[in-house]
Amino acid sequence: MRTVVALGGNALVSGGEGGVAEMRDHLARVAPQLGTLAERGHDLVVTHGNGPQVGGLLREQAAADTAERPLDVLVAETQAQIGTLVVRALDAELDAQAVSVVTHAVVDSDDDAFSDPAKPVGPYLDADTARNADYSTREVETERGTVHRRVVPSPKPRGLLESEHVARLADAGTPVVCGGGGGVPVARDDGNESLRGVEAVVDKDYTAELLARETDADTLLLVTDVPCAYRNYNTPDQEPIRDASVGRMRDLLDAGEFEAGSMRPKVDACLDFLDADGERAIITTIDDAAAAVEGDAGTRIS
């Protein structure tokens, strides 16, 4: 039984900037839940977010007189950084030694996302800095009021270069940490087989779903900072969604029930996985992860 676990939300950080000490503290909560799944017979493939960590590197670059590193390289750096911390946490909990794999996500250079950059990354900018920047920026609302941030494309992944290697490791009983931050974004130009890095961020939920399909996983488990998906979220009529069919969740998705950039991509990824003959998809918190897989917590779609 293979389960792809996507760690996001407060699984790694909660309001901080993703420092090593903070991530270690959070992973001390994550690892026992993953250990419980492993004890129950789940072969684990674990992926994770990296937004705060990439943001920190972008802020460091902006503040220091150092050579600029492109976004694809920063994603690779944070994959290695977070991957080694997750591996150590898993090794302390599991019988098998985990392996971290830096993973590349192939995107289509003609993806509509490249004509409409919308994913905010990096530090907050004042209006003058944003106006003079040599990259796209957008106003965003924060607790500090209206600020500006750099925005980059967020194309869907079309393939993962290392999927076969990950599957072989998982087949051998090795827990694998991979696909962090959605994967290092790369693309092929028309008529050219070589790959190039692109200035983009791939949504980790879509990468987790693709990873689950390409490694023949039975279960896709998306870990976030709310116990489940909700109808009428954050309103007096908020209603938890527990066991749901693909049809019901698609109706809610089409009706605009889930917020873009938050729960919407998670539900969309779950439905893609189930449409491709996945067995079940689950949305929950890290503390409820093992219970949700057993059917006692979270949103479970099948």
Give the residue numbers annotated as catalytic, written as ranges. Answer: 9-10, 119, 204, 266
Paired strand residues for 146: 141
Label the pairing between strands 219-223 and 2-7: parallel
CA distance 33 to 284: 12
> Quick check: 212 and 273 in contact, CB under 8 A?
yes
CA distance 7 to 20: 16
Residue 34 neighbours by CB distance under 10 Å = 28
Structure tokens at 294: 């057993």
Closest C-alpha among 268, 286, 170 to residue 221:
286
What is the sign, positive or negative, of the torsion defined by CA atoms of 143, 149, 153, 159? negative
> Quick check: 231 and 239 in contact, CB under 8 A?
yes
Dihedral angle of Cα 275, 276, 280, 286, to the nearest 10 degrees: -100
